[in-house]
Amino acid sequence: MVVTAEADVAAPEWFTQAIAELPEHREVDVAGGVVHLRCWGREGTAGVVLVHGGSAHSGWWDHIAPLLAGTHRVVALDLSGHGDSAVRSRYPIEGWADEVMAAAEAGGIAGRAYVIGHSMGGRVSAVAAARHPESMAGLVVIDSPFQEPSEESIVRQLLRRPKTYPTRDEICGRFRTVPDQAVLLPYVARHVAEESVRDIGAGWGWKFDPEMLRKRLEDGRIPPLGSLRAVDASVLYIRCERGLVTRERALEIASLFGRPATVVELAEAGHHPMMDQPLALVATLRTVLAQWDSRDRPE
């Protein structure tokens, strides 16, 4: 059964308290385009950059970031073409990777940043780690398959046309994750849906560039990843038990890095764990951040 944003379930106290901790909004210019940031926690301290997945935005982390901000400065960005950031003529992954590291600096993180990326954002974060090894203290990748979509999938997506909806309520009621998953906590889905839309004058639309896929293609495909051997940071790979990545594939991905990643499994989580297992995700992230902080603390 899919639990959608319309389900009438009261939000628990931890969630209402988390989203009540409103972020500070900032902007930074990266390669001529504005990149929007949400920031929590004390500026000028060690910090974390949160990187969303494809067609998502920084608001997907609104209930996660405050639970990490007691110990770290937390910065979530909208990659260009997403959320409230600029639309570009092209979206090379290297450009997105540079936006991640620019967000760390503009968001007030002191020293090298930890970077946590979900799905497509995990791929982007891995490229950021390879391009900026001196600036990254640790990398967490969440259920990213590190595989390009098939030609058939690309063709199907290119044939879709963006839709507009007459009211905010109607478009929010259409909110679904891609890929779909069996369980979405309704209060999380509702909040994310409300942060995912904008009034475009002739109705309501989603906050992502509808031409994004076309603008990512080169010769009809998304360019494959280059080598990740330059990644010098510690890497944790979180495989979601009910997500997109098999145990075998997770181990293959772990071996792509200069130092093989540690693989952990998030029990009962779908591909979007912030939507169905947010507290388990937070516990895992807090654990690895505390471990890395302890390792890096001068004796």
Task: Read off the pLDDT of residues 242-282 as tens digits, 9 standing for 90 and up.
Answer: 999 999 999 999 999 999 999 999 999 999 999 999 999 99
pTM greater than the 0.75 cutoff: yes
What are the structural domains, with CATH classification, of the chain? 25-149+221-293 (3.40.50.1820)
pLDDT of residue 161: 84
Instruction: Give CA 25 to chain center in angstroms.
Output: 17
What pLDDT shows up at residue 149? 82
> 73's torsion region: left (phi>0), alpha (psi -120 to 50) or beta?
beta
Query: What confidence score (pLDDT) does residue 284 get?
Result: 98
pLDDT of residue 148: 82
pLDDT tens column, 108-131 = 999 999 999 999 999 999 999 999
Per-residue pLDDT, 7 = 54
Low-confidence stretches of the chain (pLDDT < 50) are 1-6
